[in-house]
Structure 1
């Protein structure tokens, strides 16, 4: 469901609760462009958990395929500083 930023301004944040009773997500349209997505907390946590699960899976795959290196914390910090 798409709502305009102006609707939110006039109806307030409680407007989200009412709309999220019938929609999984709200897209906020600002000056004719879709800019933001609003989810209820349970749905957000589900997305976040899936994102973390994917990151873990990809890290484990990198380890399995040898795409990593071993270094001390100081070496790692220096590498990060040099990258800046």
Structure 2
């Protein structure tokens, strides 16, 4: 994964990000030598969000198949989660 320094970003602007993302899925922005941020194209971000939602859906389906769920009223649910 490529690293772009904050100084490069200051001097070259968005063009440094665009050039690095031309052949990479994401890049890291470092500040004072420490990795601080990740930048990616919106298409990559949307792909990762979709993967995250698919994983949550699969987990929910598995919980349902394994009877790992609770059936209760709204009032009981509020009481349970606010304890």
Question: Scaled by the length of structure 2, what TM-score is found?
Answer: 0.85
Greater mean deviation of Cα atoms: 45-54 or 17-26 = 17-26
TM superposition shift of 1:3 = 0.7
Report the counterpart of residue 16 of structure 2 in structure 1: 15
Q: 3-state SS of the aligned residue for 2:82?
A: helix
Aligned-residue Cα RMSD (Å) equals 1.5
Partner residue of 2:72? Answer: 71
Unaligned runs of at least 5 residues, structure 2? none
1:45-83 Cα shifts (integer Å, max 9, x gaps): 11110110001001110111111101122222232332x
1:58 and 1:44 mapped to 2: Cα distance? 21
Per mean C-alpha deviation after superposition, the further-off stretch among 22-31 and 7-16 is 7-16
The aligned length equals 82
Which structure 1 residue ranges, 4+ long, deviate > 6 Å from structure 2?
none
Equivalences for residues 1-84 of structure 1 within 5 A: 1-82=2-83
Q: What stretches of structure 1 of length at least 5 have no aligned partner? A: none
Q: Distance in 1 between matches of 2:74 and 2:13?
A: 48
TM-score (norm 1): 0.84
